[in-house]
Homo-oligomer: A and B are copies of this chain.
């Protein structure tokens, strides 16, 4: 049913990182074997993953680093600017806003929100923290401008994460990156029909980043080393 495995997308991100490293070392050519070794996957996997999106190599020769990099950037949608708001400007929100590398890919923070009155008005990289009640108007107000908000990052405490997601969806963002250690329910009501996302959630994409989960998985695999397998992100 699904055309492209989710895991393949994660691997494309890895290949792109490797191509950037190679470009930085002025390496101009690579191969599925070379990429595979650097990404810790099989060469078959590399070729299959790339084949989902086109033919980027030359038989007998391999791949041209800048060309493949450009194509992966295009496929992953990293040639365009992505405007982001962060909900929750505690330690985690600050760490995210300060994390270097995000703007390497034209991810731009255009709004910062919190509910704590003490934080309102403080500036992070000359962007003021606003009260979360202003989120809806902020997103709507920028809807058809170059500042249009594409994504919201959730960095609030877990007990407020579902409400934060609800806010983002109602405001009209298209994607949510959830840093809180809960599963966001793609529906509005507390107890809606199982597996039936509410309409307004239908077109919203949710991804998760959970490093407590990473710690716990690590603990498990240390105890059960015979189950050790490769994975990605993850990872995630």
Chain A residues 123 to 174 lying within 8 A of chain B, measured CB to CB, are 150-151, 174
24 of the cross-chain contacts (CB-CB < 8 Å) are A9-B221, A16-B216, A39-B183, A40-B186, A91-B99, A99-B211, A105-B215, A105-B216, A151-B222, A174-B222, A175-B218, A175-B222, A177-B215, A207-B221, A207-B235, A208-B236, A209-B209, A209-B214, A209-B233, A213-B233, A213-B236, A231-B235, A233-B233, A234-B234
* Contact in complex: B2, A229 (CB < 8 Å): yes
Chain A residues proximal to chain B, CB less than 8 Å: 2-4, 6, 9-10, 12-14, 16-18, 21, 33, 36-40, 75-78, 82, 91-92, 94-96, 98-99, 101-102, 105, 107, 150-151, 174-177, 179, 181-183, 185-186, 194-195, 203, 205, 207-223, 225, 227-229, 231-236
Residue of B nearest to A176 (CB): B218
CB distance from A185 to the nearest CB of B (A): 7
A235 to B234, CA, bound (A): 1
Given contacts A17-B181, A174-B222, A209-B235, 11 further A-B contacts (CB under 8 A): A77-B219, A92-B95, A107-B215, A177-B214, A209-B211, A209-B214, A209-B233, A210-B235, A214-B236, A233-B233, A233-B236
Could you say which residues of chain B place their CB within 8 Å of the CB of A94?
95
Q: Which 6 residue pairs of A and B lie closest in terms of their CB atoms, listed nearest first? A: A233-B236, A234-B235, A235-B236, A234-B236, A234-B234, A233-B235
Kindly identify which residue among B3, B96, B195, B203 contacts A211, using a CB–CB cutoff of 8 Å.
B96
* Contact in complex: A217, B13 (CB < 8 Å): yes
CB distance from A199 to the nearest CB of B (A): 14
